[in-house]
Amino acid sequence: MNREAPLPNTLPTGQPNREFLRDRRLLVLGLGVLVGELAFLLAWPHGEDFWQHYLAAQKLLGIVTPAQQQELWPYPYGYPYLSFVALLISPLAVLPPLLAISLWTALSLMGLGLANWMFAGLLLPAGGNRRALWALGLSIWPASFVSVWMGQSAALMVLSLAVCAWLVRRGRSGRAGLALSLALIKPHLLVGTLAGLALHRRGRILGGFACGLAGLLLLSWALGPLGPPLDVEAYLPDWFLGGGFSVSLVGRLYPFSPPLAVGLALVGLVGLAIWWWRHPRPVGVEDAALGFTLSLLFIPHLRVHDLVLLNPVYMLALQRGEPWSWVSALLLSLGALVSTRSMLLDPITLALVLLAISVWRVRGVTRGLG
């Protein structure tokens, strides 16, 4: 007589499967938090950065009015993005502002959730419930909340990185490079990734990226400028070093000593490039995560809403049971809500340092060094 298979919530011995039950409870809690977050975002929309794209898309369609521009963006208006971004937003530009920001909020959350799910499938062990738990949990970090609330386009960048990694895993390097080119909405955050690919001679990925870059530049040139000319001499230095709001190690030093900040950025990025160039092949997931985290630490312009890019790194460190990663995650969650420009070492910068240490320790254990 065949014995019936045990239910998922019980062990073969008949005892409760506490790990399964815990994951289910956390998953239900995560769903509740996500619904509450979505309700808050829709009830009190902010979308400061979304309105730049919205107004640029309306200009592209020829339907923008000075009154609405002043209402939605009461600042000196400029559009320091490639014009293809406005083209992507254009379907929302024909909608009333409240409906447009509501749909953008929902799409951003869906994009982050999909990206995190893809990263979970690539980084975590088999098991649908556990993948769902981590993907959902990492889509509701306060850092992600701040990004979505501000109407940021970081979700598009995270999704393009996830698709790129998914295609690389399947041996489609050229298409992966094309997917990576969509992350050009924030090109300064791609410096570390592109440098790493170049130093390890990933020519097919870079070739696909170059094709995507050429296509997007040509498209943006054809669409033309969508804002008044920027005062580059005044805008670029302040933007490059975050205007004191950058949460990277370099950005936090800028208000106190600009020369020291620039010097640290150069030394850090050059040192990282040398380490990466001398690193043996093939590159492990832990090495890539460490290099990416360090590159963000030394990039001058890193804002709170850009921290969603670290979701897959946290997935890796937390799943490997690295204790410092939990401290880092807590500091990141708190710091995302209280970050100011007056602190030399705020919770977010400390969280990034601890995350880099966590991934280094994970890397050491994987290589049998710790």
pLDDT tens, N- to C-terminus, the chain (370 residues)? 444 444 455 655 556 666 667 667 766 776 777 777 777 777 776 777 888 888 888 888 888 777 766 667 666 666 778 888 888 888 998 898 888 888 888 888 888 888 888 888 887 766 666 666 676 676 667 678 888 888 888 888 889 999 998 998 888 888 989 999 888 888 888 888 888 888 878 888 899 999 999 998 898 888 887 766 666 666 666 666 656 677 887 877 776 777 787 788 888 888 888 887 776 666 678 888 888 888 888 888 888 888 888 888 888 887 777 788 888 888 887 777 666 555 556 788 888 888 889 888 887 655 544 3
Q: What is the 3-state secondary structure (H, E, C) of the chain?
A: CCCCCCCCCECCCCCECHHHHHHHHHHHHHHHHHHHHHHHHHHCCCCCCHHHHHHHHHHHHCCCCHHHHHHHCCCCCCCCCCCHHHHHHHHHHCCCHHHHHHHHHHHHHHHHHHHHHHHHHHHCCCCHHHHHHHHHHHCCCHHHHHHHHCCCCHHHHHHHHHHHHHHHHCCCHHHHHHHHHHHHHCHHHHHHHHHHHHHCCCHHHHHHHHHHHHHHHHHHHHHCCCCCCCCHHHHHHHHHCHHHCCCCHHHHHCCCCHHHHHHHHHHHHHHHHHHHHHCCCCCCHHHHHHHHHHHHHHCCCCCHHHHHHHHHHHHHHHHCCCHHHHHHHHHHHHHHHHCCCCCCCCHHHHHHHHHHHHHHHHHHHHCCCC
Structural contact between residues 285 and 123, judged by C-beta atoms closer than 8 angstroms: yes
- 0.85 cut: is pTM over it? no
